[in-house]
Amino acid sequence: MIKVNGIWLGYGAPEATTWAEKADQVEARLDTFSHRWLSLPGKVTVVNRFIVPLLWYPGTVIAAPDHALVRLERIIFDFIWGKRKPNLVKRTVLYKTPLSGGLGLVHLPSKLRFLLLKGVFVAFENPSFPFAFFVRYWGGFLFRHHWPGSFSNNRPKATRPSGVYTQIGDSLRRIKEEGGPHVLLNVAPSVLYPPLFRSMLAPVCPSACRTAISPDVWRSVCCKSLDSH
């Protein structure tokens, strides 16, 4: 395996190795704040501003294994409530915005899924980009069920998609089967998709579906598309 920009690439479960290192980094960073007196909103601010941004870059490159997500969420909530204390409020409540009775904590699994979807959407909008070929190659068999007009049998496709594209396909399947993109993110208030995302997801979810996604999520995933509307 080789390490590029902090991400392990190659054989031997590099995804697990990368995310184990990131979890260690998150835990070490939170330990530096654990000796300070912080209110619950203050702890959420620390997580949102200083901790989870460490995961956005690897989140756009490789899929996070389920066990890594479980560990990361455990580390975060141990910091919020204390390692030996019970969670006094359901986690889904903390994910909601303050106007909805929550604290606006970033929902890490959903955010990482949307970061993976971003590359697919950009490839559709700009098919001439060099990486658009790789999106079609690795995700051809998965995405043809959602966007059949965008893929041709004349183009080469991988018979066994990588873990990243497998997770992207799983996200699209959940959106289609469970009634809308809100199944990936449990926050409010409801907003419409920007035109790019709405047009790309039109074949996947019903045209009447609405999202339950915080604008902050979309702003961090695709600033240009959201800020221009």
pLDDT in the model for residue 41: 92
Tokens of 33: 């704040």
User: Does residue 102 sit in the same domain as residue 116?
Assistant: no
Percentage of residues in the chain with pLDDT exceeding 90?
20
User: Does residue 52 sit in the same domain as residue 158?
Assistant: no
Number of domains in the chain: 2
Q: Examine the fold and report which residue of 55, 90, 106 is the final residue of a domain before the chain moves on.
A: 106
pLDDT in the model for residue 214: 44
Encode pLDDT of 84-129 as tens digits: 778 888 888 888 888 888 888 888 887 887 777 777 777 777 778 8
Cβ–Cβ under 8 Å, residues 73 and 37 = no
38 vs 225, higher pLDDT = 38
User: Does residue 102 sit in the same domain as residue 189?
Assistant: no
Cα separation values, 76 from 44, 79, 161, Å: 9, 5, 31
Cβ–Cβ under 8 Å, residues 82 and 118 = no
User: Does residue 15 sit in the same domain as residue 121?
Assistant: no
User: Binning pLDDT at 50, 70 and 90, where does residue 203 land?
Assistant: low
Q: Examine the fold and report which residue of 86, 106, 126 is the final residue of a domain before the chain moves on.
A: 106
What string of DSSP letters covers the chain?
-EEETTEEESSS-HHHHHHHHHHHHHHHHHHTTTTS---HHHHHHHIIIIIGGGGHHHHHHSPPPHHHHHHHHHHHHHHHH-TTS--SS-HHHHHS-GGGTS-----HHHHHHHHHHHHHHHHHH-TTSHHHHHHHHHHHHHHTTT-GGG--TTS---SS--HHHHHHHHHHHHHHHHTSGGGG----S--PPPHHHHHHHTTTS-TT------HHHHHHH-HHHHHT-
User: Does residue 60 sit in the same domain as residue 143?
Assistant: no
User: Does residue 19 sit in the same domain as residue 75?
Assistant: yes
54 vs 157, higher pLDDT = 54
- Is the pTM here over 0.85, yes or no? no
Q: Residue 176: which of 140, 150, 151, 146 has the closest Cα?
A: 146
pLDDT in the model for residue 217: 46
User: Does residue 133 sit in the same domain as residue 199?
Assistant: yes
User: Does residue 87 sit in the same domain as residue 117?
Assistant: no
pLDDT in the model for residue 226: 36
Q: Examine the fold and report which residue of 78, 106, 134 is the final residue of a domain before the chain moves on.
A: 106
User: Does residue 101 sit in the same domain as residue 117?
Assistant: no
Dist CA 45 CA 104 (whole Å) = 9
User: Does residue 101 sit in the same domain as residue 186?
Assistant: no
User: Does residue 123 sit in the same domain as residue 219?
Assistant: yes
User: Does residue 102 sit in the same domain as residue 42?
Assistant: yes
* Structural domain for 47, as ranges: 2-106
Tokens of 162: 């990588």
Encode pLDDT of 149-202 as tens digits: 666 777 777 777 777 777 777 777 766 665 554 444 443 323 333 444 555 555
